[in-house]
Amino acid sequence: NYVKWVYNMHIPGGFQFWLFLAFFLGFAIKVPLFPFHTWLPDAHVEAPTAGSVILAGILLKMGTYGFVRFSLPLFPEASRYFIPFIALLSIIAIIYGALCALAQEDMKKLVAYSSVSHMGLVMLAMFALNPIGIQGSVLQMLNHGVSTGALFLIVGIIYERRHTRLIREFGGLSKVVPAFATFFMITMLSSIGLPGLNGFIGEFTCLAGVFKYNWRYAAFAVTGVILGAGYMLWLYQRTMFGRITNPKNIGIADMNLREWIYMTPLVITFIWIGIYPKPVFNIMKVTVDHLVEQVNPDYFKQKAQHEAKLKKALFYPTKSGDFAGAPSSLKVSEREKSHRLD
């Protein structure tokens, strides 16, 4: 059994350090994590639509999956040691990727840089090394694959009709292709984390895990989320709203049956995970708890101690007869007690 074999391995601490760095280099390029991200935008621009969907939905996840499956359980001491280093790179990726996306004129390149930002959040939550952070990280891997894959399909649909991805070539498309504009809007809102859609559950869980570890890291991550809403909403506003300034956009055909068929299940997935994510969390809960116990054994000990103190404070009264955890406004003075007895 691979899982038992990995969990029972005990690699010496000094050896873990160098092995972790070797694994980190390979997986960080695949994620891609800053500063190993430079290949991704060019790869997306040159790839056909199907290639970009596979790259965003599957291939990038091989890097984050590698960290979860190999680096964390095999090198727990090194993983804890390198948390500040990986957190720094992840925060830079979140903010830098979002700022680069804001500056893009090519729709596909904008979505590519958004992937750098989103995967930075995945890495930051993963290395919070607590159950909620790792669960959010895994869920956000799924969400990113679905939402960003759908964004590349959206870009591909419009590219087939106009043979350009430059944002300045569009404007007012919602008047010409209302069905396309609707699918684009739902996909865009999913990507930025609108409540009720899958992106919100993933981002909120990731941020909760990071906040539990270090609120300063979470504050920087929230900045990236805000910037993410900025570049996506700005993209939608520039392409879908306003006047039709380019006459080539007037005769564009709306979505055909084939496009409806492959976009509809994706939108259903956005809504399903956004409203009812419990089955996804239930599937990963036991595995994530085992992983946290392996890589961060102090977490559950500290949690048990905290719960014991809280229980004692709430349910066991002090010598004065008040509950230890009761607010001062609820504590009764001796004079009040004597008045009540009278």
311 and 285 in a common domain: no
Q: What is the DSSP string of 30-62?
A: HTTPTTS-THHHHHHHHS-HHHHHHIIIIITHH
Element containing residue 324 per DSSP (H, E): none
Write the pLDDT tens digit of every residue in 99-123.
999 988 888 899 989 989 999 999 9
319 and 284 in a common domain: no
pLDDT for 2 beyond 70: no
290 and 311 in a common domain: no
More confident residue, 308 or 227: 227
Question: Can you tell me whether residue 163 is helix, strand or coil?
Answer: coil
pLDDT, mean over the chain: 83
pLDDT of residue 337: 47
pLDDT of residue 11: 66
- Going by pLDDT thresholds of 50, 70 and 90, the confidence category of residue 75 is confident
pLDDT for 294 beyond 60: yes
- Going by pLDDT thresholds of 50, 70 and 90, the confidence category of residue 17 is confident
pLDDT of residue 287: 86
Q: What domain range is 313 assigned to?
A: 301-341
- Going by pLDDT thresholds of 50, 70 and 90, the confidence category of residue 8 is low
Mean pLDDT in residue range 46-69: 86
Q: Which token pair is 180?
A: 């396309």
pLDDT for 88 beyond 90: yes
Residues 6+ apart with CB under 8 A from 263: 150, 153, 183, 255
**Of 156, 14, 167, 8, nearest in space to 77 by CA:** 14
pLDDT of residue 211: 92
Strands (DSSP E) found in the chain: none
137 and 81 in a common domain: yes
247 and 306 in a common domain: no
218 and 123 in a common domain: yes
**Of 260, 236, 256, nearest in space to 172 by CA:** 236
Positive or negative, the CA dihedral 74, 84, 35, 205 is positive
Question: Can you tell me whether residue 194 is helix, strand or coil?
Answer: coil
174 and 270 in a common domain: yes
pLDDT of residue 334: 47
Q: If DSSP states are collapsed to H, E and C, what string results for 109-134?
A: HHHHHHHHHHHHHHHHHHCCCCHHHH
As a whole-number percent, the residues of the chain with pLDDT over 90 amount to 29
324 and 251 in a common domain: no
Opening angle at CA 43, ends 42 and 46, nearest 5? 85
Q: Which token pair is 261?
A: 């068929």
251 and 330 in a common domain: no
Write the pLDDT tens digit of every residue in 157-174.
998 888 888 888 888 888
Say how many C-beta atoms besides its own lie within 10 A of residue 143's C-beta.
Answer: 30
Mean pLDDT in residue range 248-268: 88
For the chain, how many structural domains are there in total? 2
287 and 142 in a common domain: yes
243 and 111 in a common domain: yes
Mean pLDDT in residue range 137-154: 91
pTM value is: 0.82
pLDDT for 335 beyond 60: no
144 and 99 in a common domain: yes
Mean pLDDT in residue range 128-145: 90
